[in-house]
Structure 1
Amino acid sequence: MPEQELASPASAKPPAGENLLEVSGLQKHFPIRQGIVFQRQIGAVHAVDGIDFSVRAGESLGLVGESGCGKSTTGRLITRLLEPTAGSIVFDGEDITHKPVAKMREARRHLQMIFQDPYSSLNPRHTVGTIIETPMKLNGINPPQGHKRRAQELLETVGLNPEHYNRYPNEFSGGQRQRIGIARALALRPKLIVADEPVSALDVSIQAQVVNLLQDLQREFGIAFVFIAHDLAVVRHFSERVAVMYLGKIVEVADRETLYTRPRHPYTHALLSAVPEADPDSTERRERIRLAGDVPSPIDPPSGCRFRTRCWKAQDKCATDEPPLVRLRANPEGHLTACHFPEEPTVEARGEDIVLDPALAALEKSPTDRSS
């Protein structure tokens, strides 16, 4: 029998603390049109389809899931780089969902983004100094020490030489370019940074350095993060809470340790079972869950529970009723699950076996190296 639901979808908020970001019922549907002269809409891609979550001031929330689940679209909706189809985005107490683009500048002073590709996110015709100074100039911020000195201080903060101020992006490695992007995001002293797969394009050893750098900056400046990634090991290293997405929906939210050791949603359990282990001999101790079939098309998502077409626990109810994101009877406060037939709370994902890549694990125990 399914567990009794004890909370409503509105409870998808942390139990305590001040919410800096609140997302409710957020949707983004990309229309599919047919015709050349006279176009008509024949469908829509349901990239994000009604999600709720919040982020406290100074907190790091990880957003994970397979490619195409809507993670990056969610990040662009939060920063209003994409216009939402429905729902609301409240940032720092202000509803910015439909705020005119011309009036978004003030909000963007406190809401910045680090992009996935450090090669395409920096203008190759601008020097590093210009890239970092431009946000300050556009927002009318005049540091007492001047724009140049402030840009050089930011370069030093992210582990680069201040003398690189006059260089161009093509003179830097991928990891160094990503540090430049981080410096640009820090230029306006933001309250929240949306990091969209910030290390996926980097070598493993550089990934560890950049993740540790972000952690240092979070502690130093009290910045909140929405950390988007598909690598669960990196997310565990960085995020305090984790939200799992599948086909445009959030299916589970919990604090890091709870989600990695006691997942309730079958999809979360399957994701965790695929994380590499440090000890090859431990493979026999943990069952590898292989999901059947492919991810359904977001153009025509399944009825009811969207995961049911690949779920080994699916029953008739899953095809007719969409499970809400709620706290179940055995879940601790703040642990939300969207499943009619959740995993037993005694089933653990063997958190001790879920580890970082060896390079990440080594740096997790050592001071941050900012030299690369």
Structure 2
Amino acid sequence: MSTTQPLPGQQSAPAGQPPAGENLLEVSGLRKHFPIRHGIVFQRQIGAVHAVDGVDFTVGAGRTLGLVGESGCGKSTTGRLVTRLLEPTAGTVVFDGEDITHTPVTRMKEARRNLQMIFQDPYSSLNPRHTVGTIVETPMRLNGINPPQGHKRRAQELLETVGLNPEHYNRYPNEFSGGQRQRIGIARALALKPKLIVADEPVSALDVSIQAQVVNLLQDLQREFGIAFVFIAHDLAVVRHFCERVAVMYLGKIVEIADRQTLYTRPRHPYTHALLSAVPEADPDGIRRRERIRLAGDVPSPVDPPSGCRFRTRCWKARERCVTEEPPLVRLGGSPDGHLTACHFPEEPTIEAREEDIVLDPAVTGREETAAGTA
């Protein structure tokens, strides 16, 4: 299981949160198998969908972890398992020092004060019959929180925090654009002052310009309130801009995990190489043009995943060992601490690029900056 290390010069965590760098979330051996049943009256299980099949990672207080991979790899299911919106088949989820894996639903209220979620679809995640004020106030009322300034004033402050007009308090979700609805969802998640937010593809349904606004808003909120994020996405450019550590998932398993700079400049797993080769680069002159890796075949079914390495059916480096032996997620020789890869025949590390050489595309971020800081 990986360990999150503090960045140099990182500020201490806000009051009530663990010191920066200490693990706020620890996930170990997490599994979710959805049973496949046959029959109408007398049902019997004939198989299972291996949506998540043994996932390990940690998230430090005030830090960001990105979960990336193709559609159907188990990213969203992992997020729902972490927040206990789904019950795990096996494994443990330790949040803020407490094992919440099997905590009864009736006792999850306290944990959910500090563990919130931003949902993927801004159109279906808001109740169309409720006003914006009601949507933002409801978490506070359900948890018995009575702000000194009152629920209405607190909801208006939250709307203002996410860049909306406080006068929108009495409007309904259908009166807003997709980007504005996502901001309402963020305001709802902030209502209880959480320590960790699981953001499930919060910008995938938005236009590029709106994506930049939402991602930059999340970064500003993190800096202001010290919130940790599990950021689920399939857009590697957005993840590169927002996340400090990145975990790559394939068919229910994490195949590589490392800090942002290492993963984007020295990937070791063939699947990570293939994903990164598909990321558009802001390079008009083609100086840093990369070879496009096209994966053969389709993603195998999670009902009957391949034996051994799950990526072997599409991997150009697969050997007999990959068929019979599942590669463990370990640190390989020549890799820095915290860089873990699950591959029997990993890619050789290239010359490490400098952090300031990782240019972030302004079209995605909405800001002209490098990974080292704002230009």
State the TM-score, normalizing by the size of structure 1: 0.92
Q: Which residue of 2 aligns with 1:69?
A: 73
Q: Does 1:219 align with 2:223?
A: yes
Show the 5 A alignment for 1:268-287.
268-282=272-286, 285-287=289-291
Of residues 169, 184, 189, the one that matches 2:188 is 184
TM-superposition CA deviations, 1:300-359 (whole Å, max 9, x none): 000000001101111111111101111111110010000011000127799989755542
Contact 1:57 1:223 in 2 (8 A): yes
Give, in whole Å, the separation in 1 of the partners of 2:358 and 2:323: 32
User: Cα 1:274–1:35, aligned 2, differ >3 Å: closer, same or farther?
Assistant: same
Check conservation: 1:209, 1:363, Cα contact below 8 A: no
CA deviation after TM superposition for structure 1 residue 220, in Å: 0.2
Q: Is the 8 A contact 2:67 2:231 kept in 1?
A: yes
Q: Which residue of 2 aligns with 1:291?
A: 295
1:32 alignment counterpart = 36
Distance 1:189 1:362 in 2: 27
Per-residue displacement from partner, 1:83-130 (whole Å, max 9, x unpaired)?
000000000000000110110010000000000000000000000000
Report sequence identity in percent. 87
Structure 2 vs 1, CA of residues 177 and 265 (structure 1 numbering), >3 Å: closer, same or farther?
Answer: same
1:165 to 145, 166, 169: 169
Q: Where does 1:18-97 land on structure 2 (aligned, <5 Å)? A: 18-97=22-101
Q: CA deviation at 1:211?
A: 0.1
Secondary structure of 2:367 counterpart = helix
| Structure 1 SS opposite 2:128 | coil
Q: CA-to-partner distance for each residue in 1:237-283, whole Å, 9 max, x for gaps? A: 00000000000000000000000000000000100000012124428
Provide the aligned length of Structure 1 versus Structure 2.
356
Aligned ranges 1:72-151 → 2 under 5 Å = 72-151=76-155
Distance 1:316 1:109, change over 3 A: same
Cα distance in structure 1, aligned partners of 2:363 and 2:288: 24
Gaps (5+ residues) in structure 1?
1-9, 367-372
Alpha-carbon distance in 2 for matches of 1:245, 1:147: 40
Q: 1:212 to 1:257 in 2, by over 3 A?
A: same
My pick for the range that moved more, 228-237 or 355-364, is 355-364
Report SS of the residue matched to 1:363. coil
Alpha-carbon separation, structure 1, partners of 2:221 and 2:355: 27
Return the match for 2:3 from 3, 13, 22.
Answer: 13
Shift of residue 175, structure 1, vs aligned partner: 0.3
* 8 Å contact from structure 2 (residues 213, 366) kept in 1: no
Report if the CA contact (8 A) 2:122-2:182 is conserved: yes
Partner secondary structure for residue 51 of structure 1? strand
